[in-house]
A and B are shown apart, each in its own frame.
Chain A
């Protein structure tokens, strides 16, 4: 019976078997996306002829629907064979970490929130009730009452001074905020890991050179350095990402260097050398995977941090070009109307807080799960 229900309502078999979180989330996703596809059918169909954004949204919709269905179906079948849920079989460090992570409700909540944020970002063309700069209709028609309109059934989060729908702008703005966070951290973690690993493993002059560079970058307050870089170059998204990455990598490098310094004293490193593996291979294939736990933690916390910084830059008018919606610039735009139109700044601010909170919850959860040393220290 459970299996047949899984055909129609993915997640339901898991839900019935007591896996409330996984099953509930799957069911919620499935029903939500189906509802979206049905109520916005014209847009979904129109996306076939649309541009890249539309196609991405279309693909996301199809893949998530299919993925949820497949997960539910296969997990259901596996649990019939083994009597246990999925993910029990991997005894590696990351497998263990995931099992510990799963017991942390707050972290799971954060993870779910992050998934929903990114899903919403990808599905923006279907979700957003209006275009981000949709205002002509009102202003041309002379309907100035839509200016700074309070939240209503038409504009769920109200409108701003240009009669633009806030919800739509938050959705479109998430592309800037969420992608920049991800990309900047991706670049900085890659760079920081590479340099930190080399510094820790090779030592000597290489170490000194890299670490002095780290000290130099870290000697400046991050926001000051950011402002200088962004002010020096024409502000494009690219520059903002590079600036964020450039000011972030030193802390990762420092962390990775410390990990590698400790790891290379471990006996398995010497054993690997005695087996004839080259130094590069030992560093990147044998040692670095042992530092993966702390790295994931640093990256996750870093994304939250970067989202705030980007918002801060946009708030100061130093982020992406004016007009392009981004959460930071929306808060900035709304601050003049805080007294009479609180919704203009509040909702985008809320989005920032929620996203950052979610990343921090996940980061802390990962730290507890993957990096017991650090979390012990934190508790002490």
Chain B
């Protein structure tokens, strides 16, 4: 039994016009202790996917469509509600958010907020809970926990706030942590520290980690496997190293081109032209085709399926790898796949 098994997840949002098909048929498997990265540009549906897991859809119109399934250790989360769902939230599955500036309640001290989370999910008395709160502050690398516990969010730097958020998420000793762009609002050095911290606590607690980012670099530093999301669909998925070494989907290649890496300063920044379309009107055929540099006629007509693959059709730069290789790609360029129609 996997830790998290998402099948055919479709999360739509009702709007004034057409529904926004923000997450549109995503499969995702996450084993115990594994870390999976979810990468995609703004608007590709990353946040909504994570929120769907916890049943935290936007009020007034967010809905997981029938036929979707999200199983946590075999337990179906779609349609779950009430007490059991609240136990899972923050208990077995915790989430940290993008904005450390605003994800903490401004009128309570950070110590108080962590303490409240500890008391909610752990059967500890007041003193033990307090001790645990201080331990958590230390665990996430906040120096001098006793003094910092009394600080209010506005007194802490962005990095310290994100550490406090992580401490809150760890309060319930979760076995799965959803981290939605936890470092996007932070500067590069702090980002590296936070990523290291996530990696460390993940290893120590044997947690599963779903790390969301728009930055392939960030995810590749932490995760075992990567899913590339575009237009609410997975366009490429596979082990981190394979994807970095040999990206197949033009979108993945675009993301690689638009990333700035430390070790390769000569590579010039080549952003992907255009923008992610609105989730209310995805283009016909392949959702990426209007921006794709290698677009073919077929892409405009038919939508490709997600299929195992190791090579690009007619490509020489990608070689080897066992057939299958744990890699899935959604592209007509995929070699050995002709019968999609």
State the A residues within 8 Å of B (CB): 91-94, 203, 266-268, 270-278, 286, 289-290, 292
Interface size class on chain B is 35 or more
Q: Is the CB of B86 within 8 A of A278?
A: yes
Cross-chain pairs A/B with CB under 8 angstroms, 23 sampled: A92-B109, A93-B106, A266-B102, A267-B99, A267-B103, A268-B102, A268-B104, A268-B105, A270-B56, A270-B103, A271-B104, A272-B105, A274-B54, A275-B90, A275-B117, A275-B120, A275-B171, A276-B87, A276-B89, A276-B90, A276-B172, A290-B106, A292-B107
Q: Which of A267, A268, A276, A278 has the most CB of B within 10 A?
A: A276
The CA-CA distance from A91 to B121 in the complex, in Å, is: 28
- Chain B residues near A93 (CB-CB < 8 A): 106-107, 152
- CB-contacts of B43-76 with A (<8 A): 54, 56, 59-60
B155 interfacial contact with A, CB 8 Å: yes
Chain A proximity of B134: nearest CB distance (Å): 19
Q: Which residue of A lies closest to B105 (CB)?
A: A268
- Chain B residues near A277 (CB-CB < 8 A): 86, 90, 116, 120
Q: Is the CB of A276 within 8 A of B88?
A: yes
Q: Which of A93, A203, A274, A292 has the most CB of B within 10 A?
A: A274
Query: Main SS of the interface on chain B?
Result: loop
Q: Which of A91, A203, A271, A286 has the most CB of B within 10 A?
A: A271
- B105 partner, pick from A91, A203, A286, beta carbons under 8 A: A286
Chain B proximity of A172: nearest CB distance (Å): 41
Q: Is the CB of B56 within 8 A of A273?
A: yes
- Chain A residues near B54 (CB-CB < 8 A): 273-274
Query: Main SS of the interface on chain A?
Result: helix
- Chain B residues near A278 (CB-CB < 8 A): 86
B230 interfacial contact with A, CB 8 Å: no
Q: Is the CB of A267 within 8 A of B95?
A: no
- B107 partner, pick from A92, A203, A267, A272, beta carbons under 8 A: A92
The CA-CA distance from A227 to B247 in the complex, in Å, is: 79
The CA-CA distance from A258 to B250 in the complex, in Å, is: 47
Given contacts A92-B152, A274-B90, 16 further A-B contacts (CB under 8 A): A91-B152, A92-B108, A93-B152, A267-B103, A268-B103, A268-B105, A268-B106, A271-B95, A273-B56, A274-B97, A275-B120, A275-B169, A276-B86, A276-B88, A276-B89, A290-B106
- B59 partner, pick from A203, A266, A268, A286, beta carbons under 8 A: A203
Interface 0/1 of B208-243, CB less than 8 Å to A? 000000000000000000000000000000000000
- Chain B residues near A286 (CB-CB < 8 A): 105
Q: Is the CB of B105 within 8 A of A290?
A: yes
The CA-CA distance from A286 to B108 in the complex, in Å, is: 9
Chain B proximity of A209: nearest CB distance (Å): 18
- Chain A residues near B59 (CB-CB < 8 A): 203
- Chain A residues near B169 (CB-CB < 8 A): 275
Q: Is the CB of B155 within 8 A of A91?
A: yes
- Chain B residues near A268 (CB-CB < 8 A): 102-106
Q: Is the CB of B97 within 8 A of A273?
A: no
Chain B proximity of A347: nearest CB distance (Å): 43
Q: Which of B95, B107, B155 has the most CB of A within 10 A?
A: B107
Chain B proximity of A80: nearest CB distance (Å): 23
- Chain B residues near A289 (CB-CB < 8 A): 105, 107-108
Q: Which residue of B lies closest to A287 (CB)?
A: B105
B94 interfacial contact with A, CB 8 Å: yes
Chain A proximity of B109: nearest CB distance (Å): 7
The CA-CA distance from A274 to B169 in the complex, in Å, is: 9
Chain B proximity of A279: nearest CB distance (Å): 10
Q: Is the CB of A274 within 8 A of B155?
A: no
B165 interfacial contact with A, CB 8 Å: yes
With known contacts A267-B99, A271-B165, A276–B106 Cβ distance under 8 A: no
The CA-CA distance from A253 to B105 in the complex, in Å, is: 23
The CA-CA distance from A210 to B332 in the complex, in Å, is: 56
B151 interfacial contact with A, CB 8 Å: yes
The CA-CA distance from A114 to B151 in the complex, in Å, is: 33
Q: Which residue of B lies closest to A279 (CB)?
A: B86
Q: Which of B87, B89, B105, B165 has the most CB of A within 10 A?
A: B105
B91 interfacial contact with A, CB 8 Å: yes
The CA-CA distance from A270 to B57 in the complex, in Å, is: 10
Chain A proximity of B315: nearest CB distance (Å): 43
The CA-CA distance from A277 to B105 in the complex, in Å, is: 13
Chain A proximity of B105: nearest CB distance (Å): 5
The CA-CA distance from A92 to B105 in the complex, in Å, is: 11
Q: Is the CB of B97 within 8 A of A271?
A: yes
- Chain B residues near A273 (CB-CB < 8 A): 54, 56, 89
- Chain A residues near B56 (CB-CB < 8 A): 270, 273-274
Chain A proximity of B153: nearest CB distance (Å): 9
- Chain A residues near B99 (CB-CB < 8 A): 267
The CA-CA distance from A277 to B109 in the complex, in Å, is: 17
Q: Is the CB of A276 within 8 A of B120?
A: yes
Chain A proximity of B230: nearest CB distance (Å): 25
Chain B proximity of A272: nearest CB distance (Å): 7
Chain B proximity of A290: nearest CB distance (Å): 5
Q: Is the CB of B105 within 8 A of A267?
A: no
The CA-CA distance from A286 to B168 in the complex, in Å, is: 15
- Chain B residues near A275 (CB-CB < 8 A): 89-90, 94, 117, 120, 168-169, 171-172
The CA-CA distance from A145 to B151 in the complex, in Å, is: 68
Chain A proximity of B52: nearest CB distance (Å): 12
The CA-CA distance from A97 to B116 in the complex, in Å, is: 25
- CB-contacts of B97-135 with A (<8 A): 97-99, 102-109, 116-117, 120-121
